[in-house]
Structure 1
Amino acid sequence: LRAYLMLFLPMIFGKWLNQLDIFSFLTVGMLMYNPYLVYNLSFIFSYLIYFFILLLQNQKAGKYYLFLGSIPIIISIQHVLPVFSFLIGILLMPYIEMIYKSMLYYLLLGKYVLPFLSLEYELLLKMIAFIYDFSFTLPFSQPTLFFIGVYYYLYLKGIYKLNVNRKVTQEVCLLLSVLLAFYFYPYYNMKGQVVMIDVGQGDCFFIQQPYARGNVLIDTGGLQKSDLATSRLIPYLQSQGVFYLDAVFISHEDYDHCGALTSLKEHFKVKKVIYDFKKKTIGDLVFKNLALDKYYTNSNDRSSIIYVTINRLNYLFTGDISKEVESDLYQTYHHLDVDVLKVAHHGSSSSSSEDLFKMIDPKVALISVGKNNRYRHPSYLTLKRLEAYGVKIYRSDLQGMVKIVYYVGKNYVMTSSGF
């Protein structure tokens, strides 16, 4: 729509307005029609790049410089930068222009042009598929506002220099330097986080250590009707600058805890999968399995009970254990320092017993649970018990993804509504 309006509107208003004026009115008009377009990545990409095209249209080097303007948006969408797309874009540009002209003829002549347009479109898809097979990409985390601001300041400064016929060598070098610095951002990022990823009715917790010292998942979640790994887990991990996992702990083999594991291993680098263990050190963290000398017939009760200290907070991940296991834990350990409790079995009434709270005194409870789930988790009794012990409750069905971000000895709980 933007392309065709920018084709026709200058024909009508070209005597009074230049193309930049017309484009400005068009942008304002589109946002007045639908203000939420400002959150649409395809709108941002299309309109911002066309704005750069207008600013560079009289410059011979414009089409080369244009690619640099698209980089922050590309890595915001894909979290990778296709290294050869700069050259590919230049090669395909004449062909894309031909397809647009064919589309215009199709609007005028209809079915007579359709076979040629279909052929051009199929060839384009085959070319893209061929290029994809030989593509090489660099991974990037989600761009920060600081990176985007600095990058586009330097980029617009370069556009100004081009339009006054000055060299932009310095700006190009600075842009590439900023890009390189952001590529290594995960390795000097001082923040760590523990994240309850919203996977619906299931469990998945992500632990990211500062300076890329270690990345861990505890369970992967699993949905029967969709692939959680490719639709949610991998995109989120990539957005956090994570492109491999040091370990995936599987508490037990229920589908809602490990169903996404197979796809995750197929599409993402996982160094090791850990089912049964006593103690594992990953980066600066020591994960302990509070194993009990007893065999349980129920698979939920055989869940690994993972205890780990992260930035002065003690976490207890309880899988799907029942009251029986909680009672045995109390008899064995009597007291555990726990600040953050992963509530067992999605807040079911079969867990979170009085014996558990005789042993621990958590400040925060994390309940990973699906919205309007058929099991009616979390149980009213469990919620009332947590409230009675003064525990702050965070639920994925109500608050979505919940993060505990830590930085230099301090910890902050972050939800979609803020800290």
Structure 2
Amino acid sequence: LLRYMIMQKHPQLLLCSLLIMPVSPYLDPFFHVYMLDIGQGDCTLVVEPFCRSAVMIDAAGNLYRDNAESVILPFLEATGIRKLDALIVSHEDFDHAGAVEAVQDGISVHTVIRDPTQPVPVEYPMLNLLPDRTSPDENEGSLLTYFSYDGHGYFWPGDAGVLTEELLMDTFASLPVTVLKAGHHGSSSASSPSFLEWLDPDLVLLSAGRNNRYGHPSPEVISSLQSMNTARFCTAESGMIHLASWHGFLFLETAEGQVSCLSTPAGR
């Protein structure tokens, strides 16, 4: 009866309670995006409802620990993920690709994607944008992973910077994005004010190590997001960041215990 009353008056509260309850991934109706607290680097896990697919974007190495053994593989085991349909490597820098081989040694990985023209083996839209472009350096050549589910668009640009951002703005009239992973860990080499205004995301996620020597995320990027009143979360402050969606509802959960509803279906 209580759940029925909540569902009638505040359905997002019921969904939020379901979100934080442990459940087998094969019974889970939510679409999940987990940005792991990997230190100074990137590692994101994307899981389709009922575990129809699981895709990892990047698997950072670490000079002081084995990220695969201490973070990535234990997390996959804890969430019940038994295999990865794809592991997308945005580029070969150690803080994006350093743990790829160790992850392959620890779990079945159907496809490792390094070529932007290679299709991602999932049934929802997951694309690498601008696959035929040429870039002056490895960061700008990062795979640009765009995917959408439940009416929300997600953009993961690796370490691509302002040159790639300008090319995106020149190529596309618009890019529907709810959630942006800030390029290059929030460095000022990416996330230009004009690009952020053009993209106009509802939420920006930043993956950076605590007290990292690069000063990521940069004050310039934080200032731009503040001026736009754009919500932001950084792994250096919040730990792992978890997004989950269901029929237009979008929730955020952090390792600190914060849970919030970011979006509801139109008219609700």
Q: TM-score range by the shorter chain?
A: 0.7 to 0.9
Q: Secondary structure at the match of 1:316?
A: strand
| Identical-pair percentage | 33
Within 2, Cα distance between the matches of 1:347 and 1:407? Answer: 28
Structure 1 gap ranges (5+): 1-143, 148-181
SS of the residue aligned with 1:232? Answer: helix
Which residue of structure 2 aligns with residue 418 of structure 1? 258
Q: Which residue of 2 aligns with 1:232?
A: 71
Q: 1:205 to 1:313 in 2, by over 3 A?
A: same
Amino acid in structure 2 at the alignment position of 1:350: S
In the alignment, the residues of structure 1 paired with residue 231 and residue 20 of structure 2 have an alpha-carbon distance, to the nearest angstrom, of 31
Unaligned runs of 5+ in 2: 1-18, 260-268
Q: 2:232 aligns with which of 393, 396, 416?
A: 393
- Between the aligned partners of 1:345 and 1:255, the Cα distance in structure 2 is 13
| Contact 2:150 2:248 (8 Å CA) reproduced | yes
| Code of the aligned partner of 1:274 | I
Aligned counterpart, 1:318: 157
Q: Which has the higher contact order (CA 8 A, sep 6+)?
A: 2
- String of CA shifts for 1:330-372, please: whole Å, max 9, x gaps: 1111311111001000000111113312431100000000000
Residue identity opposite 1:418 in structure 2:
Q
SS at match of 1:321: coil
CA contact (8 A) 2:117 2:131 kept: no
Structure 1 residue 225: Cα displacement = 2.3
Distance 1:259 1:221 in 2: 5
Match of 1:347 among 186, 191, 201: 186
Pair 1:306 & 2:145 matched: yes
Question: Which structure carries more strand by proportion?
Answer: 2
Distance 2:98 2:110 in 1: 18
Task: Say whether 1:241 aligns with 2:80.
Answer: yes
> 1: distance between equivalents of 2:228 and 2:170?
20
What is the match of residue 214 of structure 1?
53
Letter in 2 for 1:346: H
Q: Is the 8 A contact 2:160 2:183 kept in 1?
A: yes
Q: CA contact under 8 A between 1:326 and 1:355: conserved in structure 2? A: no
Which among 175, 183, 191 is matched to residue 30 of structure 2?
Answer: 191
CA shift, 1:282, in A, is 3.5
Which of 153, 174, 185 is the matching residue for 1:335? 174
Residues 109-137 of structure 1, C-alpha deviation per residue, up to 9 Å, x if partnerless? Answer: xxxxxxxxxxxxxxxxxxxxxxxxxxxxx
Structure 1 265/189 Cα, relative in aligned 2: closer, same or farther at 3 Å? same
Paired residues of 1:330 and 1:358 also in contact (CA < 8 A): no
Counterpart contact for 1:280–1:286, Cα < 8 Å: no
Q: In structure 2, what residue type is equivalent to 1:417? A: G
- The TM-score normalised by the length of structure 2 is 0.84
Q: Which has the higher helix share?
A: 1
SS in 1 for 2:175: coil
Question: What is the rounded CA distance, in whole Å, between the counterparts of 2:224 and 2:120 in structure 1?
Answer: 34
Root-mean-square deviation over aligned CA pairs: 2.0
Within 5 A, what are the aligned runs for 1:6-405?
185-278=24-117, 280-291=119-130, 293-405=132-244
**Partner SS, residue 125 of structure 2:** strand
CA distance in 1, matches of 2:246, 2:118: 25
Deviations 1:78-136 (A, max 9, x none): xxxxxxxxxxxxxxxxxxxxxxxxxxxxxxxxxxxxxxxxxxxxxxxxxxxxxxxxxxx
**Structure with the greater alpha carbon radius of gyration:** 1
Shift of 1:146: 8.1
Taking the aligned partners of 1:384 and 1:272, their CA distance within structure 2 comes to 39
Give the residue type in structure 1 aligned to 2:62.
L
Residue deviations 1:226-268 (CA, integer Å, cap 9, x gap): 1111111011011111011110000001000010011111121
| DSSP-derived class of the 1:285 partner | coil
Q: Quick one: structure 1 residues 211 and 146, their matched pair in 2 at CA, closer, same or farther if it must change by over 3 Å?
A: closer
**314-323 vs 330-339, which deviates more?**
330-339
- 8 Å CA contact 1:220, 1:257 repeated in 2: yes
AA aligned opposite 2:72: L
CA contact (8 A) 1:330 1:355 kept: no
For 1:343 and 1:146, the matched residues in 2 are separated by: 29
Shift of 1:205: 0.7
Bigger drift between 221-230 and 353-362 goes to 353-362
Q: Does the Cα contact within 8 Å between 1:337 and 1:360 map onto a contact in 2?
A: yes
In the TM superposition, what whole-angstrom CA distance separates every residue of 1:186-235 from its partner, at most 9, and x where no partner exists? 32222231011010000111101111100010001110221111111011
CA, structure 1 residues 373+407, in 2 after alignment: closer, same or farther (shift >3 Å)? same
1:117 corresponds in structure 2 to: none
